[in-house]
Chains A and B, each alone.
Chain A
């Protein structure tokens, strides 16, 4: 690879960040969906440049998204599955006029995550192949271990006012039961989406977007609308209320959670964040927010970087899966160029994060939060309808099937919203909505997926 090619590759990564900076603040629009459309377009009309430049562009895109999606999660309460845990402490900070600070803490965690990835880069070609060889045959029970911990570690939320005994027990267990119901229902939804999606085949690859938006984003926005949340004026501090030790601890815990999520299949950034939160074991919001920033960056970027590791060729995360249909990385030069691209894109994303957050603070000071929430909800629904419709359109569908895809996207979103509202109404963990991915895949991994799908009437 010549210096010119490497330079063009880095420019592509910068281009990816700039595109991500425009797209990431749009509620619900996941960068994987955008990449899916780009690849579909490339498959239809062909690529005008070598595919490795597209890989670098995607690297910039995913880095920009991983850092910048914090803004919509904190200011608009529309998380994706990797930022779901930032919303609650983020709202606490917003109400204390410290929304900007919350975003910057997440950004610092993200920078920390990029440092960890960079430090790991020289050992990754030795470490990860060995880890994969050791864990390969044990992934099924590791996934069930995560599910078991997720369900067992939820605490009951009764008021203890009922008389001692079973009545008081049930008062506490209502929230736990709601959590289990949420997990099972979202798992059932996952089965439907995987085995018999209502979306046509040409746009079925987009069927997780409406589900995730319904499970995680719409319930938050509805809650904000119903609770008539009003934001106080936001304050932009000149210094960050965090010590180096706290940032180090948050980054370390977050990076471990993110690496765990990036390396294991199906385990998403949300679960990495969950593990990071528990491993940190401290009730300090700042530390928790830093850890979430590190976790999501390590999950998104680290997962994609595994695709570039020489001798590993591991496809983790949607971006790597999609890109693997066009191109595969082979040489150490490509790998180290990718690492350099991540560092460059990460630093650029951080400074864009500061700018875009100031812009958002300016916006929320001028527009009432109720209107922002209504606008956010409208955008969410538009994206949910438009993405499958666009997928169908690019796949060569007729006008009628394009319209039907849009409506079916909305239908999935409505069903998912119903499930996503259960934790809101019963005070259980929103995390249980991850059943949409975990349950079908964990059952598939122990060979029971098809049987359960048969019980549900999804396969003959």
Chain B
């Protein structure tokens, strides 16, 4: 799911505890901790883990990119992974032409035709605005045959233009080659074990700070730990509703546990619905734990929670009805869509 959905869910979870709400009304910032913990798993991946990933091959097209050369290098890594049985981790670099100029290119895997396709695109600025007429002369999609059996993976175009490029891990499983998009995502950072550790850590740090600052201990550090642990857990469980799932009990488990396949993490409706329901529940909780509640609880829950859930949830299921896509492709799409955050600048 998108960052905002995880963040608001973390806040909503925090407000289910009357002590947290009452302390918040008196000036505490405990619910903010829930939001931070809610977005933390992706923060750990996208702001830390990715930088420590070691690649077997870094493909740098240079200022005069050759589509065939790029495609052949990718296919070379795919064949190596298949033939040697050793996974190949590959990153494609962007092409920077100036302070505010980049050359765009696209790459896509076409499992149906067993090919990799690359196309060199226009020059764009950092706002991804293409300069008209800047496409290279005679630029067409170049296709190179993979030549080894691959699973039906995510086949949409991956656009490589500004800052950093995409990474892929090619892994042979049985007699098929799998393409893992952004393999560093949802591994150790998305584990319930880590949620427990962080919750306990928050209790410890909170207690230490309180002891040093006030010389005595209250139950506030316990609430802080609970809010952090549950906010983090909420993120992992929400991701588990999708296709890819997470490595739930790292370091005790090695593989990602497959998701419940109820939704696609990049889809608008589930994300919006999560934000809506979270905000509604925050309001409901703030009201019912206040000195003089104003809302008619059952009516509010019916109108603001149940009705949107049924209507939007139903609409979403209708939209998905009859659309079939290979499970492997949906799993990889789950990962890719999380990188497509709306970057409002």
Chains A and B are bound partners:
yes
Q: Which residues of A contact B113 (CB under 8 A)?
A: none
Nearest residue (CB) in B for A252 is: B272
Binds A, one of B50-58, B148-156, B195-203, B205-213: B50-58
Q: Is B127 positioned at the interface, with any CB of A under 8 Å from its CB?
A: yes
Cβ B272 vs Cβ A135 within 8 A: no
Cβ A164 vs Cβ B52 within 8 A: yes
Q: Is B164 positioned at the interface, with any CB of A under 8 Å from its CB?
A: yes
Q: Is B247 positioned at the interface, with any CB of A under 8 Å from its CB?
A: no
Q: How far is the CB of A195 from chain B (nearest CB, A)?
A: 22
Binary interface profile of B, 29-44, with partner A (CB < 8 Å = 1, else 0)? 1111001100100010
Q: How far is the CB of B47 from chain A (nearest CB, A)?
A: 6
Q: Which residues of A contact B43 (CB under 8 A)?
A: 152
Q: Which residues of B contact A88 (CB under 8 A)?
A: 127, 345
Cβ A92 vs Cβ B3 within 8 A: no
- Of A95, A152, A277, the residue contacting B129 (CB under 8 A) is A95
Q: In the assembly, what is the distance between CA of A135 and CA of B283, in Å?
A: 8
Q: Is A249 positioned at the interface, with any CB of B under 8 Å from its CB?
A: yes
- Of A135, A145, A274, A280, the residue contacting B11 (CB under 8 A) is A145
Cβ B7 vs Cβ A138 within 8 A: no
Binds B, one of A106-114, A169-177, A298-306: A169-177
Cβ A85 vs Cβ B271 within 8 A: no
Cβ A429 vs Cβ B344 within 8 A: yes
Q: Which residues of B contact A277 (CB under 8 A)?
A: 342, 344
Q: In the assembly, what is the distance between CA of A98 and CA of B24, in Å?
A: 48
Binds B, one of A155-163, A392-400, A451-459: A155-163
Q: How far is the CB of B316 from chain A (nearest CB, A)?
A: 13
Q: Is B125 positioned at the interface, with any CB of A under 8 Å from its CB?
A: yes
Q: In the assembly, what is the distance between CA of A169 and CA of B275, in Å?
A: 31
Q: How far is the CB of B63 from chain A (nearest CB, A)?
A: 14
Nearest residue (CB) in A for B58 is: A161
Cβ B271 vs Cβ A155 within 8 A: no
Which residues of B in the span 115-131 have a Cβ within 8 Å of any Cβ on A? 125-131
The number of chain B residues with a CB under 8 A from chain A is 64
Q: Which residues of B contact A161 (CB under 8 A)?
A: 58, 60, 93
Q: Is B329 positioned at the interface, with any CB of A under 8 Å from its CB?
A: no
Q: In the assembly, what is the distance between CA of A347 and CA of B340, in Å?
A: 36
Cβ B341 vs Cβ A155 within 8 A: yes
Q: Is B268 positioned at the interface, with any CB of A under 8 Å from its CB?
A: yes
Q: Which residues of A contact B11 (CB under 8 A)?
A: 145
Cβ A153 vs Cβ B39 within 8 A: yes
- Of B28, B131, B162, the residue contacting A95 (CB under 8 A) is B131
Q: Is A283 positioned at the interface, with any CB of B under 8 Å from its CB?
A: yes
Q: How far is the CB of B18 from chain A (nearest CB, A)?
A: 14
Q: Is A367 positioned at the interface, with any CB of B under 8 Å from its CB?
A: no
Cβ A160 vs Cβ B4 within 8 A: no
Cβ A91 vs Cβ B35 within 8 A: no
Q: Is B317 positioned at the interface, with any CB of A under 8 Å from its CB?
A: no
Q: Which residues of B contact A164 (CB under 8 A)?
A: 51-55
Q: Which residues of B contact A427 (CB under 8 A)?
A: 126, 163
Can you list 5 contacts pairing A with B, beta carbon distance less than 8 Å? Answer: A133-B294, A148-B35, A149-B3, A149-B35, A153-B3
B residues contacting A by CB (< 8 A) are 2-5, 7, 11, 24-32, 35-36, 39, 43, 46-48, 50-55, 58, 60, 91, 93-94, 96, 100, 125-132, 162-165, 266, 268, 271-272, 275, 283, 286-287, 290, 294-295, 340-345
